[in-house]
Amino acid sequence: MRALVLLCLLPVALARKYDWNPRDPNRPTSTPDPNAVNACQKTDQYCGCCMMVQETNRLQMYFNEVLNMVEEEYNKTEQYLNMINDSRIAFSVALNNESKMNCIGPFRENTSVIYRTVFLNLGDGYNMSTGVFTVPRSGVYSLALTVYSDAGTPGGSLAACATLQVNGKVVAGPSERNMQDQEDSVTIVVALHLKAGDKVAVNLPIGCFLCDDKSHYNTFSGFLLYCTE
């Protein structure tokens, strides 16, 4: 009798193929053995074999259903993790990293400010060669700009000023111009809705100059608060 059961189950076992890679779109799906019904229509000596084959088919169908559910949840989780990774956008840069105070400007025309020291550049949106932050993903961003300058001597003309621009248009312009302070600084923080591909940069207006060293008095930073697409 044992040999009979084994002979009955052997074709069923050989007919089943399982692919344990849930990410393979070509993963074959097993189907119940149609011969199971035929086996039940034979004599009583096949009854035990028939019941075992039917139970095997039932377990196989249950296994396939569970495997499909796990695959769906896996794909959803993977998409969610990819969305989180794509949302990790942040940058923070400083004007220079010199041991002695070094100033740029004043110039006779508006000049782009290029920040050479990069603290953070998640998402690779900031270009150290141009000083431009290109928005990788549409959303609401927090942007912060601090400008600092040193007149060099008491009573000298101080012009710590710069403009924050998006696609060439001025958004904000921190400025400190006087002859009473030898040194001074100004900071602005704004929240803006930006679209993917927008260009964010800092511009040095005519007559303004910025001074910095390894203490990093001049900084430009931004990060994504939340996506809008």
Residues pairing with 104 in the sheet: 210
Q: Is the pLDDT of residue 12 over 50?
A: no
pLDDT tens digits, 144-186: 999 998 877 776 777 888 999 999 999 998 877 766 677 788 8
- Measured distance CA(194)–CA(136) in Å, rounded: 10
| pTM, entire model | 0.64
Instruction: Specify the amino acid at residue 120.
Output: L
What is the reported pLDDT for 63? 82
CATH 3.90.79.10 fits 90-227, yes or no: no
Contact (CB, 8 A) for 39 and 53: yes
For the chain, what are the domain ranges?
Answer: 2-86, 90-227
- Looking at the chain, the whole-number percentage of residues with pLDDT higher than 90 is 42
